[in-house]
Structure 1
């Protein structure tokens, strides 16, 4: 590591402004609005019209690594990468996704994979229909589903519905058949008057800095004191879905879910994590899971010790 660890070669003069790491591939958003992806190319997750891996052999990176073609004049402002698919938010509020589409996670009304063959990207890659007049402010690709934060604070999710991942009170896939997207796709019910300001995976930060998460709840990753999934049955969403207790007066500014755990950045720059802790992912000096039993959240959940303050 250290000086021995090379920088990723993104090409002559290329500067990255954000990155998105999937399970086996990575995408970088460049300062000029282009996207480059490398790693595991199966299912076309790299968006290069084939299934070849990139970055595992000499001469595949830098200027030799093509940018993802998202269409004429497309300027990307945000990216997200999941297990085998990737998504880009364009400057005009449209969203395009490519890679594995077997559960409808690409939102194209079919189960087709896109980006693994020629002629599937660029202007041929459809933008996702989010509804009349809807524009996205943020995207979150996760597992085999995708969510978008809309300009009016609503959240829409599509793709695999296992364990309630789309937050619709069932386990149906959405976006894998015609007529399931656009105005037909309901927004996730986050409760009366709730407005989302940020999303990640199956979690939303709401106005006021409170957090709600839904879907798979292994190891207590939803932070609700049990391991029961939420959003896969009736009466589990909306006002029935509890806020995650992060402690007295805690205000979250961001939430980041992992495979079996979740972390939140609080307003003061502090961090709390909960869920699976087999390998110490919660940063609490032990292997105990948190959030899977009552009494483990709120003020009882310790902050992650990141060291002495730098300011």
Structure 2
């Protein structure tokens, strides 16, 4: 049943999502058919369609939240490695990533394009033995930690602690910002110190990812500007054209233009 499409389903009639006794929520993230909550104590619960794999409950059958006794205290917490809790979480279409309190990055869900960054295309969290202390850790460049991250349709992007940026996963439209359409993270030797940094005109303070494209706020000669790359069939890059950027055949990252957000009257 849809909620919010009738006058008697909003306001005081809008039901709250029961996530358990004394639940204190820091952040909610949503994918295509799943949602996850990061609690203030660093624990995480996810609900929605499990066949999309993003829930990470060692199952890809059915879902959580659509039936009796599937919410509240009955909705299970994510099983993270022993002694670890999450400090950051983001969701893509059908995958989810969390940064642990020791700066490890763990991701689960759909991995068909290498978006989990594990050097293969095997999904994680859809079978026993893949979560908890068995979670695979995504390899990042030596000495780097994650300042912020964004998950798109089938790719993952991060801003590092030195305000450089990297992306991996699906790259059909150049959304990884590498002037190619080669997926990254789906094969051996592509992550860790082999992961490329995106050629941006300055340091990045934030990044966000969509369906086939990515945008970042970049300090360009002392001014924060929006730079976008990847799919541009509807002008989503904001560069007054429909030419893709970063795919190796359209606009190149070395000559990337910022999105023109000025308006003259």
Does the alignment pair 1:181 with 2:136? no
Aligned residues: 255
Instruction: For residue 64 of structure 2, give the secondary structure of its aligned residue in structure 1.
Output: coil
* Runs of 5+ consecutive residues of structure 2 not aligned to the other structure: none
Whole-angstrom CA distance in 1 between matches of 2:102 and 2:167: 19
Give the structure 1 partner of residue 90 of structure 2. 140
Does the alignment pair 1:287 with 2:242? yes
* Runs of 5+ consecutive residues of structure 1 not aligned to the other structure: 1-51
What TM-score do the two structures reach when normalised by structure 1?
0.79
Whole-angstrom CA distance in 1 between matches of 2:50 and 2:70: 13
Whole-angstrom CA distance in 2 between matches of 1:129 and 1:266: 36
Does the alignment pair 1:122 with 2:72? yes
Pairwise CA distance, 1:104? 3.0
Pairwise CA distance, 1:154? 2.1
Whole-angstrom CA distance in 1 between matches of 2:203 and 2:80: 29
Aligned positions of 1:161-180 closer than 5 A? 161-180=111-130
Whole-angstrom CA distance in 2 between matches of 1:187 and 1:109: 17
**Contact 1:147/1:157, CA 8 A, preserved across alignment:** yes
**Contact 2:33/2:52, CA 8 A, preserved across alignment:** no
What TM-score do the two structures reach when normalised by structure 2?
0.92
RMSD: 1.6
Instruction: For residue 173 of structure 2, give the secondary structure of its aligned residue in structure 1.
Output: helix
Give the structure 2 partner of residue 297 of structure 1. 253
Q: Which has the higher contact order (CA 8 A, sep 6+)?
A: 2
Whole-angstrom CA distance in 2 between matches of 1:94 and 1:104: 19
Does the alignment pair 1:63 with 2:12? yes
Whole-angstrom CA distance in 2 between matches of 1:156 and 1:116: 27
- Runs of 4 or more above 3 Å deviation: none
Give the structure 1 partner of residue 140 of structure 2. 190
Whole-angstrom CA distance in 1 between matches of 2:246 and 2:140: 20
